[in-house]
Amino acid sequence: MDDSEKFEKRIRGYVEQVRLYEDPSYQESARKTVPVEELQEKALLSLAKEGKHGPSKLEQDHAFLLQLLFWFKQSFRWVHAPPCEHCGNVTTLQEKGVSLPSELQFGASRVELYCCTSCQKVTRFPRFNNPIKLIETRRGRCGEWANCFTFYCRAFGYESRLILDLTDHVWTECFSHLLGRWMHLDPCEAVYDQPLLYEKGWNKKLNYVIAISIDGVRDVTKHYTRKWNEVLSRRNITTEEILSNMLAEITRQCRSAFTSELLSELEDRDKEEKQAREIDTHSMDDSSVSLPGRQSGDKEWRKSRLETGSDEEGSFSCSACPVRKCVDKHVTRIYSALHSILSQLLDKEFSGSTAIEVLVFIQGIVTTLKKSAFRTRRALVDSDAIGMKPLLQRLFPSLKDFLGAMSLDCSLDTDGRVDIWLASEPIYTSLALPVVLDALEEIIQDIKKCDTFGRAFLCLPRLKLNRIHSGSVLASGEELPFGIATSAFDGIRLSKWEEPSGARGCWIMYKVLDNRMEELVAYELMSANDAPERDPMDWIVEGSEDGGTSWHLLDEQTNQMFENRFQRRSFFITETGHLSNAFRFRFLTVCDIKATSKLQIGSIDLYA
| 127-181 residue pLDDT tens | 999 999 999 999 999 999 999 999 999 999 999 999 999 999 999 999 999 999 9
Q: Are 587 and 505 in contact (CB under 8 A)?
A: yes
**Topology (CATH) of 470-607:** Jelly Rolls (2.60.120)
Per-domain residue ranges of the chain: 3-33+138-282, 79-131, 328-463, 470-607
Q: Domain 3-33+138-282: which topology?
A: C8orf32 fold (3.10.620)
- The model's pTM is 0.92
**Per annotation, catalytic residue among 116, 142, 153, 188:** 142
Q: How confident is the model at residue 581 (pLDDT cuts 50, 70, 90)?
A: very high
**Who has greater pLDDT, 569 or 344?**
569
The catalytic position among 61, 165, 186, 219 is 186
* Whether residue 538 lies in the annotated active site: no
What single DSSP character describes residue 533?
G
For 440-466, the DSSP string reads HHHHHHHHHHSSSHHHHHHH-GGG-S-
Residue 169 known to be catalytic: yes
Active site residue 186: yes
| HEC sequence for 564-575 | CCCCEEEEECCC
Identical topology for domains 79-131 and 470-607: no
**Which of 47-61, 301-315, 353-367, 381-395 has the lowest average pLDDT?**
301-315
User: Residue 349 and residue 588: Cα distance in Å, rounded?
Assistant: 44
Which option is the CATH number for 79-131: 3.40.50.300, 3.10.20.30, 1.10.10.10, 2.20.25.10? 2.20.25.10
572 forms beta bridges with: 522
Burial degree of 608 (CB within 10 A; 0-12, 13-18, 19+): middle
State mean pLDDT over 59-73.
98
Query: Is 597 in contact with 585 (CB distance < 8 Å)?
Result: no
- Long-range CB contacts (< 8 A, 24+ apart) of 439-443? 439/334, 439/335, 439/338, 439/491, 440/338, 440/359, 440/362, 440/363, 440/366, 441/363, 442/566, 442/568, 443/338, 443/342, 443/359
Q: Looking at residue 178, what is its pLDDT?
A: 96
Output the average pLDDT for the chain.
93
- The total number of residues written for the chain in this structure: 608
* Residue 382, φ and ψ in degrees, nearest 5: -100, 95
Max CA separation in the chain (angstroms): 89
Q: Which of 62, 153, 165, 169 is catalytic?
A: 169
